[in-house]
Homo-oligomer: A and B are copies of this chain.
Amino acid sequence: MNKLEQYLAEQSSIIESALDHLLPKESEYPREIHQAMRYSCLGGGKRLRAVLAMESCQSVGGAGCDALDYACAIEMIHAYSLIHDDLPCMDDDDFRRGKPTNHKVFGEAIAVLAGDALLTYAMQVLAELDLDATLLILLFREVTTAIGSQGLIGGQVADLLSEGKSIQSDNMEYIHENKTGKLFLASIRGGGLIGGATDAQLAAITRYGQNFGLAFQITDDILDIVGDSKKLGKAVGSDLKLAKSTYPGLYGLEESSRMANDCVMQCHQALTSLPGQSCVLRELAQFVLDRDY
């Protein structure tokens, strides 16, 4: 484990513990829904989005921990989107992060409701953040726009409708920008807002976020072809089997890899203007490219 991985593991443990503290206890009535919410939100995942929010806050001179609860809300939203995405009527996945998907354990009805409840609870956590009310409203706008029918959900819809069809590159870019990219962007921009970013700093953060999301997605597509299923925790080649279009599918492996590299360079350039600590953001961009899971 290198230094960054060790740092990520430490951060991930802080985030896990904050999520554990924030989420309703399993003993709360009705137990089934709280068990299901905790099952999918705790005990796994790279917590990339949460780390990005906290590091972004630091990169403009804030304290990372000021963005911790915001980061947790983002992780809850991420967990909700995965639960619904895995449903039989959607991607019909049996495994996620190396364990059975929510509906496999709790049944479809509870899985639908657990996703709903995590989304709702994320909003409740946002509404309780100890921040200036005007800033809080900005965060609400940032998040709800990112995850709505013209954001994350729009990306899921476009992805769903493109299954089994060969799609154009602009459609694939729409899918990735929205399904994956917008939540990354909300993490990073939200962290920046909490840290007190100026307009120019927010623009730099946005540029970092857009390129980070793209690098992440391209690398995901590449790993799905060349990766190791055990490390990924899901069946390798599943996207190909469904004949979904991917970057390697459209551009080939070599060109995709070049594109991802270019994104990371853009990330690094964007960070140069920021006044705070941004070394982790810098290494994270590279990490996303180099990871083998």
Contact = CB atoms under 8 A, between A and B. Distances in A.
Contacts of A18: none
Interface string A45-67: 00000000000000000000000
A230 interface: no
A158 interface: yes
Interface in A145-202: 145, 147-150, 153-154, 156-158, 160-161, 174
A90 B119 contact: no
Nearest to A141: B127
A136 interface: yes
A164 B89 CA distance: 25
Interface residues of A, number: 49
Interface stretch (A28-36, A243-251, A263-271): A28-36
B120 A147 contact: yes
A287 interface: no
A153 B84 contact: no
Contact of A113 (B33, B113, B121, B153): B153
A281 interface: no
Copy number in the complex reads 2
Contacts of A117: 148-149, 153
B109 A127 contact: no
Contacts of A13: none
Nearest to A30: B157
A89 B116 contact: no
A121 to B, nearest CB: 6
A127 B108 contact: no
A126 interface: yes
Interface of A: 24, 28-30, 32-34, 37, 84, 87, 89-90, 107-110, 112-113, 115-117, 119-121, 123-124, 126-128, 133-134, 136-137, 140-141, 144-145, 147-150, 153-154, 156-158, 160-161, 174
B116 A30 contact: no
A144 B116 contact: no
A150 B206 CA distance: 36
B161 A32 contact: yes
Contacts of A90: 109, 112
Contacts of A33: 149, 153-154, 157
Nearest to A132: B133
Q: Give the one of A124, A136, A149, A160 with max B CB within 10 A.
A: A149
